[in-house]
Amino acid sequence: MRSATITRKTAETSVSVMLELDGTGSYKNETGVGFFDHMLDQLSRHSLIDLNISTQGDLHIDDHHTVEDTGIAIGQALVKALGDKRGIRRYGHFNLAMDDAQVACALDLSGRPFLVWNVDFPSEKIGTFDTELVREFFQAIATHGGITLHVDRLHGINSHHIAEAAFKAVARALRMAVETDPRLEGQLPSTKGAL
């Protein structure tokens, strides 16, 4: 089974992530940030990656450390669960529509972290959640997961819809990239001999 457990403790947060790549999209995500939990649930359900996340953070300050450190731990868990990446498809892409919003994602599990983020939000908050933290989350996953990640908002007037479309688009692209390719028969999807 391609799975991983990561624990991360700092003076600001305590994070535990259990991840199963070959799952069914089951989840139990508890970070103390309601909207973020809702987005993590979407990430799991639409990637078919099982996620069990528990984060205790310094929410009396704000949500930043909780969101960022959860992203760091998820990225680390992805790296651990993927191992040497033999047999995976490696690349993923998805263009997702959600009501007024349309978000496109393309990613490469290259081992070379890079984020291209062309997602603007009409509002600074979704409820009490700072919309700028959506980018911080994906920056953390890209950096610590070794992912080249491009996310582009094509349309959208509702910040909730835009954020949710981004999480779902990344989830569907990730689902494609982590899947095993029966034609590869355990080979690396690279001419370099390593990813």
Q: What is the CATH number of domain 3-178?
A: 3.30.230.40
pLDDT of residue 195: 87
Give the tens place of pLDDT for each residue, 60-112.
999 999 999 999 999 999 999 999 999 999 999 999 999 999 999 999 999 99
Give the tens place of pLDDT for each residue, 160-195.
999 999 999 999 999 999 999 999 988 999 999 888
Taking the model in full, what pTM does it have? 0.97
Average pLDDT value over all residues in the chain: 97
Residue 76, beta-bridge partner list: none
Interstrand relation of 148-155 and 114-118 (parallel, antiparallel or unpaired): parallel
- Taking the domains of the chain in order of start, what are their residue ranges? 3-178
Q: Hey, what's the torsion of the CAs at 80, 47, 27, 114, to 10 degrees? A: 50
